[in-house]
Amino acid sequence: MKKIIFAAAVLFMACSCSQKLYNVTKSYDDKHFDKLQQVMDNPTTPKDVSYSFTEASDIGLVGKMFYDTPNPYHRIDTVKYKGMNKGENFQARSSAGLAVIFSTNSSSISVKTEWGQKYVANNTMPLAYSGYDLYIKNKKGEWQWAASAGVKPGKEEDNIVLIKDMAAGEKQCILYMPNYSEVRSCKIGVTVGSYIKKLDGQFRNKIVFHGSSYTQGISISRSGMSYPMQFMRHTGMQVLAFGMSGNCKMQTYFADVLVDVDADAYVFDAFSNPDYLMIKERLQPFIDRMIEAHPGKPLIFQQTIYREARNFSLTYDAREQAKMDMASNIFSQLLKDPKYADVYFIQTNACAKGSHEYSVDGVHPDDHGYYLWSKSIEKPILSILAKYGIQ
């Protein structure tokens, strides 16, 4: 009898849970829909809206290592810094990791672009490499996605409306620049009569992130989703992003750039592009040069992530494991030396435990994979920075 009663109770609970799970309903009266219709019938941005435009660089860009580049949307002055090949030169001229932070009372925000060299890829969304990504601070004080838009073929210099029909009042905004194409001019549009002004004090300190296509953001869906940009939003630390897709191999000419960057800390994704022999040859000289240029500053090296292309390819797996093991082997010896007291080696993870579902092409994570990467390094990096009074 007790077994029958217990079984009936379990069945009742299962049915109750199923109803709650699958029959989630709520009734609405006509007044509710009348109110929604009133909003739809009264857009805050008129159809014949006109925009006034302000050059983004005149408002002020964040994320730049150098503010004296002839083109403000270039990350590096490629005339000053020599040695880069054609592809690296193009990447240095892209606006990856740059953003403009502003406040406005406009009901709509748009953008007009004059393009330089355009980038095309089959493993990254056009929204990321030739588009803009807008975040607005919500009532909780968090940066929340608001809009993204890219150019249409043949209409590259059109005025692109990112968002319209926003509520009255001031909005605090961060607009991420395209992460692979070259920008010559970026004009932000607000409705005529509205203001747009620089918004200071949103991010603190300066943390350099130098690395591979992971750091630049290959395979993200939009330009604000690379792991350094997510780290920046999550922590409030200003990131100076120096990703060089496929080309971060601890070259001396990239070291020349990093020597000249004045920052509070330096984070490296240095083991994703070079093979294990190159890591063996270049790592310690690279670290020594960074220590000489930035004594007493934290130098944080990330282990490269696990690539899903390893899963069934024996040669690929061996190649990747050799890279990871060589980096680990060098640090196991190096960090015993007091000379390297400000050097750190941290682990990364771009996939949930037991899952292999967050890769786009076997090499690069998707947006959620980059989110997991950002979260995997957040506590270790913040803990290291705190030791230096970097809060």
| pLDDT at 235 (0 to 100) | 98
| Residue 256: both structure tokens together | 């020349």
**Alpha-carbon dihedral sign for residues 271, 273, 276, 281:** negative
| Residue 157: both structure tokens together | 């210099």
Count of positions (residues) in the chain = 391
| pLDDT at 6 (0 to 100) | 59
| pLDDT at 122 (0 to 100) | 76
| pLDDT at 17 (0 to 100) | 54
98 closest CA partner among 217, 178, 206: 178
Flag whether 351 is in a domain: yes
Flag whether 321 is in a domain: yes
- Check which CATH number belongs to the domain holding 230 and give it: 2.60.120.260
Q: Give the rounded distance of the alpha carbon of 143 from its chain centre.
A: 13
Q: Are the CB atoms for 263 and 385 separated by under 8 Å?
A: no
Flag whether 17 is in a domain: no
Flag whether 43 is in a domain: no
Flag whether 40 is in a domain: no
User: Which residues does the chain have with pLDDT short of 50?
Assistant: none
One-character DSSP codes across 232-278: HHHH-EEEEEEE-TT--S--HHHHHHHHH---SEEEE--SSSS-HHH
| pLDDT at 21 (0 to 100) | 63
Flag whether 45 is in a domain: no
257 closest CA partner among 103, 77, 53, 111: 77
Q: Are the CB atoms for 352 and 358 separated by under 8 Å?
A: yes
Flag whether 35 is in a domain: no
Flag whether 46 is in a domain: no
The number of domains in the chain is 1
pTM: 0.91
Distances (CA, A) of 309 to 80, 112, 239, 317, 380: 38, 39, 29, 8, 27
Under DSSP, the state recorded for 312 is S
- The 3-state secondary structure of 25-87, one letter per residue: CCCCCHHHHHHHHHHHHCCCCCCCCCEEEEEHHHHCEECCCCCCCCCCCCCCCCCCCCCCCHH
| pLDDT at 9 (0 to 100) | 60
| pLDDT at 377 (0 to 100) | 98
| pLDDT at 3 (0 to 100) | 59
Domain housing 294: 51-387
